[in-house]
Amino acid sequence: MNTMPKSKPLKTAAEAETAPRVSKLGQLTFLLRDPSGVSMPAMIAATGWQAHSVRGALAGALKRKGHKVLSEKVEGERRWRIVEGGGQ
C-alpha cells in the first residue's frame, strides 16, 4: 500500500483519495491526549459533531477502547483529557 507522507501537500484529487484518513474518533483521542485537556467547543469544532454526540463518544466509544477520560473544571471552564494508565 502506498501512503503519502503527512508533510507532502496533496496536489491532485487522486492523491487526496488515496491519502490516509484519520477518523473523527481518532481526532478526538488525539485532542484528549493533551495534558491540559480540551474544551467542548474545541471537540465540537474538530469533529463537526453536536455536543451530545461528543459526550456519547467520551462515555461510550472511548471507554470501550480502554481509555479513562477525566473531566475537570480549570479556571471556570470544563476540560476533558485521557488519563494515562487508565486502561482496564
Mean pLDDT of the chain: 83
1 falls within a domain: no
11 falls within a domain: no
52 falls within a domain: yes
β-strands 38-39, 77-83: how paired?
antiparallel
We report the CATH number of the domain holding residue 35 as: 1.10.10.10
10 falls within a domain: no
C-alpha cell at 70: 477525566
pLDDT at 22: 82
Residue type, 40: M
71 falls within a domain: yes
Domain count, the chain: 1
pTM of the model: 0.71
15 falls within a domain: no
Domain membership of residue 30 as a residue range: 22-83
66 falls within a domain: yes
pLDDT digits (tens, 9 = 90+) for 7-48: 455 556 666 566 667 899 999 999 999 999 999 999 999 999
Cell numbers 473544571: residue: 73
pLDDT at 6: 47
For the chain, the first-to-last Cα distance in angstroms comes to: 33
